[in-house]
Chain A
């Protein structure tokens, strides 16, 4: 396959700029969830809330942790994890789900990826309510550092778009990969410091945290919400992932973008 870098870059630039398209797609998806159900997207929030509440109480007992400090930490981690995780899983099936559209119109693929990320940001905005409640209970104090969460979210979104494009491409061609990713994510939830804190690991095991991109994607949003700045290593990892990920995606995208309609 001859790479078409120009076409691939144009797709990305135009896709990101066509915010009217992706903003609408993401918004409508959430609006649809409000129809016919009373709670709408709050159902996800509700079930996530129950999960956090139950596990939080049990585990703080098991590990003899103070519920007032453990619960906000765990709630925040879970809410951000749910966001990162669903961007990844929905990204996998992104092109397959839009199959009819892709086969009947010449469509911008990056805009579809942006729609996936935006739709999940809206869900995150619902879920963040859990954290607010728990933070009030745990007495998390307000600080200016919380504003860094917005920067973090932006960094996650920038990574999220390439992840969607790359995995979407891969999973459209090789349908097994989506299953692999779902399985890996399930395990990763426990290996990544969501329920436990990164400093609880010492020695060589700490590599599980230091080189875990998922941890950095979560912590770049979570840490500011808990009132501390993410570490420089986290910022470095997230930025490096964005740079490497986008390069890798452009290499793949410029070669295989035009094959997507054939693979569906």
Chain B
């Protein structure tokens, strides 16, 4: 059974090379989130503060919050990129994070070469990559361009390729950051279908977004984050309502 449990997780980011005056400026600006720790009085920023969360099979969790609320950090902790300074993370199942569409994409390699490299980074075997290549070819609509170095691509073409590779995986726990842009309007429509299918295949979805509509359409649970704490959690509509009230926006 896939599940993801965060137990009392704290994430502190060490800040290196901060000048003294800069440090005091930071302390004033962030309202005490920045602190000095340990014998060497290290400067740290606390991104998540004793945070607990349980996500189970079938959950589609939306994460809402301001910039700097800890959304991206939370996603990266779920993906196993950041191991917390305190607390534990238990993950059952294969995690597929999609933070940017092209981890390990090299501009000098051809499209086909990048399909293999990125696929390996995303945890696919060579056989799986070969199996998925026709699908990536078809979806990216790049045709013969796939034999050319990626640096010759337009931004839109690059997005299409990255997106096609990233979404070819078979995820169990899918972690999405909203910034997964997808080219022009026609492609965006196609991309949406593909993401929907991807989410359909996943056992668990964790999505961070500023878009209420996106969260409403994709998620069945939501949490509201502020300064590394959970403000509220529960039904999507209620959480969004709280967030709007917090921002004094009309609901």
Contact = CB atoms under 8 A, between A and B. Distances in A.
Partners in one complex: yes
A24 B120 CA distance: 9
A103 B100 CA distance: 10
B14 A20 contact: no
Contacts of A32: 106, 108-109
Given A20-B126, A104-B97, A104-B99, A261 B82 contact: yes
Contact of A107 (B76, B113, B121): B121
B161 interface: no
A64 interface: no
A30 to B, nearest CB: 12
A210 interface: no
Given A101-B103, A101-B104, A104-B103, A28 B121 contact: no
Contact of B122 (A25, A103, A105): A105
A262 B13 contact: yes
B33 to A, nearest CB: 16
B76 to A, nearest CB: 7
Given A105-B121, A258-B83, A35 B103 contact: no
A28 B113 contact: yes
A16 to B, nearest CB: 16
A177 to B, nearest CB: 13
A204 B38 CA distance: 46
Interface residues of B toward A: which range? 20 to 34
Contacts of A104: 81, 97, 99-100, 103
Looking at A20, A100, A262, A263, the one whose CB has the most chain B CB atoms below 10 A away is A262
Given A103-B76, A262-B13, A35 B108 contact: yes
A104 B95 CA distance: 12
Interface in A173-215: none
Interface string A131-159: 00000000000000000000000000000
Given A20-B120, A21-B120, A105-B97, A28 B81 contact: no
A242 B104 CA distance: 31
B234 interface: no
B75 to A, nearest CB: 10
B81 A261 contact: yes
Interface in A101-148: 101-107
A24 B116 contact: yes
A106 B81 contact: yes
Contacts of B13: 262
Nearest to A25: B117
Given A20-B120, A24-B120, A262-B13, A103 B81 contact: yes
Interface in B4-59: 13-14, 16
Nearest to B120: A21
B81 A105 contact: yes
A231 B232 CA distance: 70
B20 to A, nearest CB: 19
A258 B85 CA distance: 9
Interface in A212-264: 258, 261-263
A24 B81 contact: no
Nearest to A1: B85
Interface of B: 13-14, 16, 76, 79-83, 95, 97, 99-100, 103-104, 106, 108-109, 113, 116-117, 120-122, 126, 149
Given A104-B97, A261-B82, 10 more contacts: A28-B106, A32-B106, A32-B109, A35-B149, A103-B81, A104-B81, A104-B100, A104-B103, A258-B83, A262-B14
The 6 closest A-B pairs by CB, nearest first: A258-B83, A106-B80, A104-B99, A32-B108, A104-B103, A21-B120
5 contacts: A21-B120, A31-B109, A32-B108, A101-B103, A105-B97
